[in-house]
Amino acid sequence: MRVQVGIIGAGPAGLMLSLLLHRAGISSIIIENRSRQYVEARVRAGVLEHWTTELMSELGVGERLRKEGLVHEGIDIGINGERRRIDFKALVNKTITIYGQQEVVKDLIAARLAQGGEIEFEVSDTSVDRLDSERPIIRYKKNGEPREIECDFIAGCDGFHGICRPSIPKGVLTEFERVYPYGWLGVLSESPPVSHELIYSYTDRGFALYTMRSNSISRLYLQVDPDEDINKWSDEEIWNELKRRVSPETAAKLQTGRVFEKGVTAMRSFVVEPMQFGRLFLSGDAAHIVPPTGAKGMNLAVADVLFFSRALESFYKTKSTSLLDGYTKKCLSRIWKAQRFSYFMTTMLHLNPGDSEFDRRRQLAELDYVTSSKAASTALAENYVGLPID
């Protein structure tokens, strides 16, 4: 098989890239080791930045998003029970939208298939070869049958544990990482959200986040140790602790419901440089991970492939490689700003077991300043809704 761009991974990055390339008249194929059912049910991030929602509408995949997405004009930050609002609309005249990643994936798959796009699900033994040539190759098996795709370019959108990044020769990449001394115990519950907008709650017991996936499904998080045993937490204990980490007034409004998913996620920051080798270009989690506190993961992945699609369009129209050569630099400018913001939000809101009393008081002063200074609140709002995309 011959195609201009071979895409590995049917997550938001790979699917969005395929749609962007189709708009530009560039052929592509997506291969994915999981089933369609699996990727459409995989629960991940749920916050879309302002520009991401606009891009989805621009690509013709925003109809269900506009109907079912929950538009938020701000967030609440709790400081030991006292809730203070950061008003995005008033500060920067932009909003965010709550719309689960699995819903984004459903919309993108349906749209791409309706265009006649090729998506190969449930493949195995995927590998890449001849990356530093003008005709890189993707090899895989489908139903046990060996297949091969010859491409002009390969997009590695296969996540942190995928095969693309490890296929780059040793010594080419430099990894930057920070591991945080806490994790999140997260649950999905059949219960209405306790608030219309997200509540980020700092308390002397630890951080908690009160968010949602819809008007009837709550997504709730508690700060725990990164190696916490989820089996030690009964549903009742989780609900009781969630009530302890907000004000009594908010706790009284917190409705319990059936918990149908729960787990513990360790928190880390990760970036690899460069994000390209030869004709292989990495996007999304294959190249970077951010702690979820800043709500940047999926949005960064979409930004990566937007930049990559522009570079490919320029190449096929003009034969210039300037945008392709500058892909890493372009992406990293946005990625490191998102890492800075995610680190800021994470360290401001979580209790670090290694902190002194000096650190605690400095942390409280920072929370007070960020939520009482218009300048500081504006900076937070500008980053949260998404920096301008250019």
**Residue 296 annotated among the catalytic residues of the structure:** yes
**Residue 200 annotated among the catalytic residues of the structure:** yes
**Residue 221 annotated among the catalytic residues of the structure:** no
262 burial level (CB within 10 Å; 0-12, 13-18, 19+): middle
Q: Which of 106, 288, 296, 350 is catalytic?
A: 296
User: Please, what's the b/e burial string for 169-183 (b: 16 or more CB within 10 A of its CB; e: otherwise)?
Assistant: eeeebeeeeeebebb
Q: Cβ atoms within 10 A of the Cβ of 83, count?
A: 17
Q: Which of 99, 291, 292, 327 is catalytic?
A: 292
DSSP labels for 39-66? HHH-----EE-HHHHHHHHHTT--HHHH
Q: CA 372 to CA 195: how far, in whole Å?
A: 21
Q: Are 253 and 125 in contact (CB under 8 A)?
A: no
Whether omega for the bond prior to residue 12 falls within 30 degrees of 0, making it cis, is no
Q: Are 8 and 126 in contact (CB under 8 A)?
A: yes
Q: CA 130 to CA 228: how far, in whole Å?
A: 43
Q: Which of 99, 140, 200, 210 is catalytic?
A: 200
The CA distances from residue 192 to 48, 70, 106, 140, 257, in Å, are 20, 13, 23, 44, 8
Q: CA 8 to CA 5: how far, in whole Å?
A: 10
Place of tokens 């699996």: 38
**Residue 72 annotated among the catalytic residues of the structure:** yes
For residue 79, list its beta bridge partners.
Answer: 82, 202
**Residue 193 annotated among the catalytic residues of the structure:** no
For residue 273, list its beta bridge partners.
Answer: 174
DSSP-derived secondary structure letter, 144: T
Q: Which two tokens stand for residue 140?
A: 């895989």
Residues assigned a catalytic role: 72, 200, 292, 296, 384
